[in-house]
């Protein structure tokens, strides 16, 4: 009989069992199977499998992602993502190949492309509003003369304008 930490074929596997919860930044070099809950950033250098009843929330990177349970967040599957019947996936998802079975739920900004980055960029910093009591007070000075706003030409937005990618820090550049 094979050890419990091996899959068929002898490759090592990491198991996050039911009723287990992990929070934080996690990195795995071998296959990861999640039947519990993981909240945080995950970088898996092998296959990530989310079992029925398992849930992953956060930024996730793996070559192959197979979802039977729930996945929510910013997801990069550098090869493929499979969303099986009964599974739920939401957030921002990018992959080179996507399979969605009947009965699965995919509610995401979806990018399917051959030229994806190998890793996700850093997360966008959260903008914290400055309370009104802490706003800087301007020194008393004479009011400037009113300035006429520049005249700008308005054009209707084109329905096929390139989207802003969640994988980069700015608007997507034209490809093709």
Q: pLDDT by residue for the chain (176 residues), tens digit each?
A: 344 555 555 578 899 999 999 999 999 999 999 999 999 999 999 999 999 999 999 999 999 999 999 999 999 999 999 999 999 999 999 999 999 999 999 999 999 888 877 777 666 655 566 565 555 555 555 656 666 655 555 444 444 334 444 454 444 444 44
Backbone angles phi, psi at 149, to 5 degrees: -70, 145
Each domain of the chain, given as residue ranges in start order, spans 13-114
Per-residue pLDDT at 164: 45
- pLDDT at 173 (0 to 100): 47
Residues whose CB falls within 8 Å of the CB of residue 102, separated by 6 or more in sequence, listed in order: 85
pTM: 0.66
Beta carbons within 8 Å of 142's beta carbon, 6+ residues apart: none
Residue 118: predicted pLDDT = 72
Q: Are 15 and 31 in contact (CB under 8 A)?
A: no
pLDDT for the residue numbered 105: 95
Question: DSSP string spanning 93-160?
Answer: EEEEEEEE-TT-EEEEEEEE-SS--SS--PPPPPPPPPPGGGSPPPPP-PPPPP-PPPP----PPPTT
């Amino acid at each position: 009989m094979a050890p419990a930490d091996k899959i068929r074929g002898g490759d090592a596997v990491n198991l996050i069992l039911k009723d287990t919860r992990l929070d934080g930044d996690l990195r795995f070099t071998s296959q990861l199977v999640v039947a519990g809950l993981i909240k945080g950033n995950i970088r898996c250098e092998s296959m990530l499998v989310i079992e029925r009843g398992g849930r992953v929330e956060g930024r996730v990177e793996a070559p192959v992602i197979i979802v039977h349970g729930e996945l929510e967040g910013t997801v990069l599957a550098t090869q493929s993502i499979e969303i099986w019947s009964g599974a739920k996936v939401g957030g921002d998802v990018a992959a080179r190949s996507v399979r969605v079975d009947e009965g699965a739920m995919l509610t995401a900004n979806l990018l399917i492309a051959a030229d994806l980055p190998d890793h996700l960029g850093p997360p966008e910093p959260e903008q914290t509003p400055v309370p009104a009591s802490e706003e800087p007070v301007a020194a008393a000075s004479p009011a400037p003369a009113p300035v006429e706003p520049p005249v700008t030409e308005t054009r209707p937005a084109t329905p096929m304008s390139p989207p802003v990618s969640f994988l980069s820090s700015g608007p997507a550049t034209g490809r093709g």
